[in-house]
Amino acid sequence: MTSLLSTWAPSVLIFAVLAVASSVAARAAQASAREVADWIAKARSAATSGQWQTAEASYEKAVQLAPTDVKLRVELGAVLAKIGRVPDAIATYQEALRIAPHLLPAEIGLAEAYRTVPNFNEAKRILEKAVREHPKSADPLAAMGDMEIQLQTYDPAIAHLKAALLLSPTKVENRNRLAVAYRARGDGDSALAQLRKALAQDPQSGVAHYLLGEVYGDRNQDDLALSEARKVVAIQPANVRGRILLAEILLRPVADAPPATTTQRCSDAVAALQPAEADIGSDPQALFLLSRAYRCAGQTEQADKTVAEFQTASQNDRDTKQNIAQARHLVQQANDAALKNDRHGALDLLQEALAKDPTSGAAYSLLAKIYYSSGEMDKATDSITKALELSPFQPDSLYVQGKILEKLGRLDEALAAFAKSTLVDPRESDSYFETGVIYQQRNDRARARAAFKKAVDLSPDDPDYRRALAAVSGPAAPR
C-alpha cells in the first residue's frame, strides 16, 4: 500500500518551492522599492539644489526600476523641460498619459512643454481636454488663462481665470493673473479689486504689490503707487522690475515740492536702480530712467556716461529690430526664388539675410534645403546644424535634418529626428511619411503601415501618402 506520505510528497515539495519563491520575490520587491526610493530622494535633492543633470539621471534610474509609476514620469518630464530637452519631456508626459490617460499633472506638464516649443494649438487642445476631464479642478483653467495672457487674448483669459477662482478662491497667483488680464484690457477697477483680494490673502505677495503699483501709476495716484513699489523692493530686493517701477514713480514731478524734496527723490531713484545696474545694462528704457535719476540728483558725470550707454543701447535695439525684419523679408524672397529654381538668386538672398541677422534659423534651414537639393550634403549638414542650434524645436528644421540623415544612410538618427519633429508638432505629416519610408526599406511593414496611416490621416488628399499606405497594406510579397 502506498503511504500517505509518499502520496502527498510531490505536492508538499511544490508548495515548499512556491513558498521559497514567494519569499525571494518579496525580498527582491522590498529591495527594489528601497532602491527606487533612494533614486527618488537623490533626484529630488538634486532638483532642489538646481543640479538638473544629476536630477535627470537619478529620475531616469528610478523610472527604469518603476516603469509604471506615473508620478515619477511627471517629475522626470518637468526636469527634462527645465534642462531644455523639451521633445524628450513631451515623450515622457505622453508615456505617463498612455499609462494613466487622464492624469492631470501630466496633461498640464505636456501643455506647458508645448507652450515652450512653442506649439500653442497643441497646448490649447490638451488643456481644453483637461478642462473637460477634470471639471472640478482649477488648474487646467488657470493654465488656459495664463497662456491666453501670453497670446494677448484677454477676454477668454478673464473667463478662464474667473472660472478657476470660483473653484479655488485662495489661489493668489490666479488672482494676480486675472488682474494682469483686466489691466491689459483697460479695466483698472476690476484689476484693483482682484489685487486687494490677493493681498488680503497674502500680504507678502511681491507680484500683487508690483501690479497694484502699476495700476495706481496708470491712474497717476503716485503716492499710492510709490508705497506699493517700496513694498515690492522690501519684499523682493532682487526684483529688477520692482526697482524700475520705484525709480519711475520717484522721478515723477510732485506739485509744489521744494527743490530739496525733488533732489532727495532723485537720489532715492538712483539708490533704487544702482543695485540692478548690471541687469539693466542693455535695456534702453531703464538706462534712460537711470540717466534722468543721475541728472536730477546732481551726478552729472554719471548722467553723461549713462546717457551715452542709453544712446548706444537704443540704437542697437533699433538696428536689431530693423535687421530682423529685413532678414525675414529676404528669407521669404529667397524661398520664392528657390521655388522658381533660381538657386543662385536664393543663395545670394540668404547670405544677405544672414549678414543682417546671424541668428536667423529660418535662413539656415532654407540653406540646408537648397544644399540638400543640389547634393551638397556637407554644406546641408552644417546649415541645418546651425538652424537647430538657433531654434532647437522648429519642426520643419527637424524634418530637414531627418531627410539629410536619411540621404547619408544614418537611418536610426534620421528616425530620431523625424520622431522629434512629430513630437513638437503632431501634425507634421511629412515626417510620418519619411518614417514610413525608412521602415519600408527595413521590411518592417507594421511600423511602415502605422507611419503611412498617420500621414494619410493628417493629409488625406496627398496621393503619395495614399499610394505608400496601399503598398504596405496588402499581403506581403513571398520571399
What does each of the 479 residues of the chain score in pLDDT, given as a tens digit?
444 334 444 454 454 444 544 554 444 445 588 899 999 999 999 999 999 999 999 999 999 999 999 999 999 999 999 999 999 999 999 999 999 999 999 999 999 999 999 999 999 999 999 999 999 999 999 999 999 999 999 999 999 999 999 999 999 999 999 999 999 999 999 999 999 999 999 999 999 999 999 999 999 999 999 999 999 999 999 999 999 999 999 999 998 889 999 999 999 999 999 888 888 877 888 999 999 999 999 999 999 999 998 999 999 999 999 999 999 999 999 999 999 999 999 999 999 999 999 999 999 999 999 999 999 999 999 999 999 999 999 999 999 999 999 999 999 999 999 999 999 999 999 999 999 999 999 999 999 999 999 999 999 999 999 999 999 987 665 55
Q: What is the rounded CA–CA span in Å between residue 263 and residue 260? A: 5
Q: What is the rounded CA–CA span in Å between residue 190 and residue 168? A: 19
DSSP assigned state of 194:
H
State pTM to two decimals.
Answer: 0.86
Who's near 435: CB < 8 A, 6+ residues apart?
415, 418, 419, 422, 447, 451
Report the 3 state secondary structure along 76-107: HHHHHHHCCCHHHHHHHHHHHHHHCCCCHHHH
Around Cβ 30, how many Cβ atoms within 10 Å?
10
pLDDT-above-90 percentage for the chain = 87
In this structure, are residues 327 and 356 in contact, taking their beta carbons and an 8 Å threshold?
A: yes
Q: What is the rounded CA–CA span in Å between residue 404 and residue 397? A: 11
pLDDT digits (tens, 9 = 90+) for 451-465: 999 999 999 999 999
In this structure, are residues 114 and 90 in contact, taking their beta carbons and an 8 Å threshold?
A: yes
